[in-house]
Structures are given as C-alpha cells and as structure tokens.
Amino acid sequence: MAIMLLSSLLAKDVYADEPVKEGDPGKLMDVEQRKALPIESNLIDSWPQGPTIGAKSAIVMEEKTGTILYAKNIHEELYPASTTKIMTCLLAVEGANLNDKITFSDDAVFSVPHDGSSIGMDVGQSITLEQALYGIMVGSANEVANAVGEHVSGSIDEFVKLMNKRATDIGCKNTHFSNTNGLQRADHYTSAYDLALISRQFFNNELLCKVANTPRYHFTPTATQPDDFYLNNKNKLITGEIPYSGIIGGKTGYTDLAQETLVTCAEKNGMRLICVVFMEDSPEQFNDTVTLLDYAFNNFTSVNIADNDTRYMPDDSLFFESDNDVFGKSGTILRLNDDDCVILPKTAKIENTEYTVSYELTEEDKKEDPSAVAKILYTYKGCDVGKALVSYSGQSGSSSAEGGARKPVFINVKILLIIAVAIVIISIISESMSTKAISNRKFASKSDRIRYKRRKREFKKWRMGSRKF
C-alpha cells in the first residue's frame, strides 16, 4: 500500500510555486526527522559548529572562492521546483539580448497547468527579454520560462538540452533538468551543492542580481502586450517582511514533493554568500536561511592572500631584475593576484592553511586573469578555502613615453646561445670559402702572379711589424 502511494505521488503533476495547502502529499520526512540528519561540516576539526535546521538539505557557499561553510546532505538529488528558473534566466542573458522580443507560442502557454504560476500571457503576445526576466524571477511565470527557452534555443526541448549541458560545464554531478520552470517531474532534480554552483554564475551577473532583488515589478501596456499590472514577489527576504541586511537576491520554489525551496545571496563583511535550502516547511525556509547566513557571517572571514601570506611568493628577482640590465631595470615579473582571498574561520590564521601549486589553469582562471601562469590552491583541515593566481606583473619597469607601465622584457638564453653559435659557424665557413677562393685565384699573366705575391709578403711584414707596438 505504501509503495502504491509513493508511486502515485511521483506520477502526479504538481505546480512550481503552487500555494501551500494543508495536508499536501509528499512529506516523506517530518521536521524532526529532517533535523536529526547529520551536518557534515560539523565533523570538520576546528570548524565552527553549524546550527540545526529543519531543512532536509542545505548549503552555504562563498561566491568568489566556492568555499563551503555549511553542509547538510548537500549531494542528495532533490526536486528544485521554481529555483530551476535561476538556470533559465542565466542562459537567457548568455544567449540573447535584453531588447529581443519574446513571443508566446501555443506550446509555451498551454504546456503548463492553467493553475500553476503564470503572469497571464496569451498566444501571440510578446514582451522584451528584460521584461521576461522580471516575469520569471518576480512572478515565477512558467509560461514565460518556456517562451524564453524557445527564443534562445528554438524549442523547449533544445533549451532543456542546453540547461543540462551548462550544468555539466559548471561542474554539476547530481543534476538533470527536464523542463524550463521546475514543474514536478521524476527526472527533474538537482542537489543543494549543484544549485549553489549554478547560483554562483547567476549572482556574478549584475543585471540578474538586480532582477532577483526586485520586490515588485510593473508591466505597462504596449502594442504587443495590452495589460497594465504589477507582479509581487513572494520572497519575504526580498520584500522585507523578514528583514535582513545585505540581501543581493533570491528565488523561491514549491511543489508538493519538493516542499519549500529557497536560494538566497547576501553580502556582508567582504563576503558574498549563497544559501540553498531544500525541503522545508513554510515559512521556515526563510528562517533557516537567516540562521545559516548569521552563522556564516559571524564565524568566517575573508583573508587577502597577497597581503597576508608570506610563505609563498614567486621570487624571480635573481633571473629578471638587475640595475645594470641593458634593457633597463626589469622589476619583478611574477606576482600574486591582489584580489584573491581565502575564507577561514575567524579563529584561524592563513599560516594554518596548507597549499599546493598547480600549473593546470581552467577557462575560469584564464577569464579572471589572462596573464596567469599558475595558481596556489589553499586548504584548511582538508577543506578547499580559496586560491591565488600567479600572474605576470603588469607594473614592471619604468613608465613608457605614453605614460603607461612598460611590459617586462623576456630573454630566452637558449635561443641567444643558438644564434651566437650560428653566427660563429657562418663566420668560419665564410672565411674558409674566402681563403679557398684566394688560393684558387687565376692570374692573367706570370707578371700578375709575381706582383700579387710581392704585395702579400709586404703586407705580412707590415702586420708583423705593427704588432711590436
């Protein structure tokens, strides 16, 4: 009987961001069972002990470094509901222009349940992509997510393929999308960790941060959309119903089986944190988020590597720096990136970390600094806490005539030696050929040969005499 009930629940279509109802099915673990689940980050030696919360899965990740500050069941595959739309909007800004017209097809409008989240767009109407982003993030509109997917990739199915490819490229291991909006499907899932990775990309975009932090948005009539209406965000951290300073943005989600899901980004004390909460009861998803953000901001700090770590600095001065350099004083060629940092417990120091040097640079590393040649990877108690890129210095040497910093001069000694040897060989061959040519010289007459030999003896005698001086 229990197996039949679970199967029927998995087969039932329920709606992303559907209003919470009493007696919803799918609550396979009650709040006490969820609270009893282990918090993996609390098992790390000398790590600040994280709070007990009612969510089945939760993570707090620092946005710049990817450092995981709090981890509870972060790799379990769970239903994301409308937090799926974070990926949809990310791909929208990566694959289209804000002024593009998003036209609503029959499939975009009618492939979603009529009582699910929507903003009432009709077939044939169109709005700009920028308006669509607000429709998705503020109004959680399922039909708008579909229309955006069709615009970017030509069809919803092709856009879903793009979602899954992008997730793989980001590094997601426990994610599979089957739609653009988070409507309940058995093969539509992700993990708290994977969604945090996706959210890092999302909240690295200034426009998306603005859209995701909008409490209310006004749609005005146009030639292709005749209605005048407002969208009100359901996110209590965005509207200020639950006040919290430093909020950058967020996205809510709900289905019967996913229960309440929430993604939030907040910035304070030089750290930008991403918090993901899966499978919680309303309104505890907001309270869990506040609890986790407070825990992270109060117990961790960002430490600049270049300013604080003296254990490793590429000392190239013996090879590249000289006051008598014929090219001018070269300066120090290599440097640590000034902005790179590690995230540590406030009770730890950077000297407590361990580091390794890697010459394998990712596309993300090169995007951060095209001149990077290596990176230093830092760990604390076995946990990744940040990195520093090692780059060519752009400030080496004296200023040029144009007023900018002169680029460093690189001298390849091996090539110089090869060139020098080649010059010597060419000189020897040339002299040998010249001598041979002279020795084989032909004279028109006997008297010419006698005069040539006499001049040669006189020159030799003069040269021997000149050496005495």
Rounded Cα gap, residues 158 and 145, in angstroms: 13
Marked catalytic residue, from 85, 251, 375, 387: 85
The question of whether 85 is a catalytic residue gets the answer: yes
**The one catalytic residue among 82, 118, 126, 393:** 82
CB 378 within 8 A of CB 388: yes
Strand extents, DSSP E, 226-340: 229-232, 247-255, 259-268, 271-280, 300-304, 334-336
Per-residue tokens: 427? 């000189």
Please report, as a single letter, which amino acid is at residue 59: I
Sign of CA dihedral 324, 326, 331, 332: negative
Dist. CA 453–CA 461, nearest whole Å: 12
Reduce the DSSP state of residue 329 to 3 states and report it: coil
**Catalytic one among 57, 117, 140, 191?**
140
Give the sheet arrangement for strand 247-255, strand by strand.
Answer: 68-72, 57-62, 271-280, 259-268, 247-255
State yes or no: is 456 an active-site residue. Answer: no
Cβ(34)–Cβ(171) below 8 Å: no
Q: Which residue carries 């229990």 as its tokens?
A: 2
427 is catalytic: no
DSSP for residue 78: B
CB atoms within 10 A of CB 205: 15
Can you tell me the distance from the alpha carbon of 60 to that of 343, in angstroms, rounded to the nearest whole number? Answer: 12
Residues forming the active site? 82, 85, 140
